[in-house]
Amino acid sequence: MHSLDWQVKTQRAYAKIYEGNCLEILPTIPSESVDLIFADPPYGLAKKRGMGWKFSKHITLQEGWDFFSKKELFSFNCVWMQECYRILKFGGSLFLCGSFHNLYQLGYIIQHASDLKINNSIVWFKPNAQPNISCRMFTESCEHLIWAAKNGNGQRWTFNYEDTKNLIEDQLNPKGKQTRNVWSIPLTPKKEKWAGEHPTQKPEELLRRIILACTKEGETVLDPFVGSGTTSAVAMRMGRNSIGIEKEKKYLKILKKRLTPEQKTLQEAEVEFVS
């Protein structure tokens, strides 16, 4: 079962989950209303016929939500990113998570179609990454994140420097030292998947670091592709409000289950599903 081992506060926090397509829901969220956006969007790498491997159950992603033509993916990314820019407060941060399949395109859109300032690219190194099936290239053992800030109106981004030094620790980042932009975090452990299977569920530690570094308690985090609810669960535990959007019913079931203990443990927390 799930443990709330790094719960920091019980300050009243809400988690609002919208069931539907973010292209329709984002336009209903007020401008300059959230402090942090974490987005882990479709990768556009799904293939009609995935690759199996006789030594493992690994299959390349074959989810309907990930099928796009090149042109469709680009216009989809332009639309939701433009909306995120509008919704983000001045002084807020946008974190984009992905692999080489989609992240360069997201970076291109930031640089060409927004006034966001890229602060860092972060490498999430996975020390227990899966082996390479084809043996014709290097083993993929990381994902990338782009951290961009919306400056303006006299506001600069939040960076809780002392917290990052004292509360982030891994094999590449000793406690008490400046945190590098290379983070060693293992693949999502089984104990975090107790509510059900999502093919791309992110580890809670990844979200904890982002929320810790760039928000304060009581602030609001938005995730337009919330999936199994990692962002909502972690935000709630850290006393941050959250808004999540997910369009697949099968993942909404996981999400509902996953947020229930959070709500029970944090007496003051509220969870609302909007369909």
Ligand X SMILES: C[S@@+](CC[C@H](N)C(=O)[O-])C[C@H]1O[C@@H](n2cnc3c(N)ncnc32)[C@H](O)[C@@H]1O
Q: Residue holding tokens 């969220």?
A: 29
**Token pair for 202:** 């992110």
**Selected binder of ligand X within 44, 91, 227, 244 (CB under 6 A):** 227
**Selected binder of ligand X within 29, 34, 195, 245 (CB under 6 A):** 245
**Selected binder of ligand X within 34, 37, 42, 89 (CB under 6 A):** 42
**Selected binder of ligand X within 240, 246, 252, 271 (CB under 6 A):** 246
Burial (0-12, 13-18, 19+ Cβ within 10 Å), 69? exposed
In the complex, the smallest distance separating the C-beta of residue 161 from ligand X, rounded to whole angstroms, is 26
Instruction: State yes or no: residue 251 binds ligand X (CB under 6 A).
Output: yes
Q: Which CB sits closer to ligand X, 24 or 115?
A: 24
Alpha helices per DSSP H over the chain: 22-25, 70-87, 103-113, 161-167, 204-214, 230-237, 249-265
Q: Cα separation of 3 and 7, whole Å?
A: 9
Query: What is the footprint of ligand X within residues 171-210 (CB under 6 A)?
Result: 198, 200-202
For the CA atoms of 196, 23, 46, 60, the dihedral, rounded to the nearest 10 degrees, stands at -20
Instruction: State yes or no: residue 235 binds ligand X (CB under 6 A).
Output: no
Instruction: State yes or no: residue 248 binds ligand X (CB under 6 A).
Output: yes
Q: Residue holding tokens 């982002």?
A: 210
Instruction: State yes or no: residue 124 binds ligand X (CB under 6 A).
Output: no
The answer to whether the beta carbons of residues 41 and 99 sit under 8 Å apart is: no
Instruction: State yes or no: residue 23 binds ligand X (CB under 6 A).
Output: yes
Tell which residue, 79, 151, 145, 89, has the closest CA to residue 115. 151
Q: Which CB sits closer to ligand X, 48 or 136?
A: 48
Q: Which CB sits closer to ligand X, 180 or 247?
A: 247
In the complex, the smallest distance separating the C-beta of residue 44 from ligand X, rounded to whole angstroms, is 11
In the complex, the smallest distance separating the C-beta of residue 56 from ligand X, rounded to whole angstroms, is 21
Exposure of 192 in the CB half-sphere (CA atoms within 13 A)? 21
- Residues of this chain that interact with ligand X (CB under 6 A) are 21-23, 40, 42, 65, 198, 200-202, 225, 227-228, 230, 245-248, 251
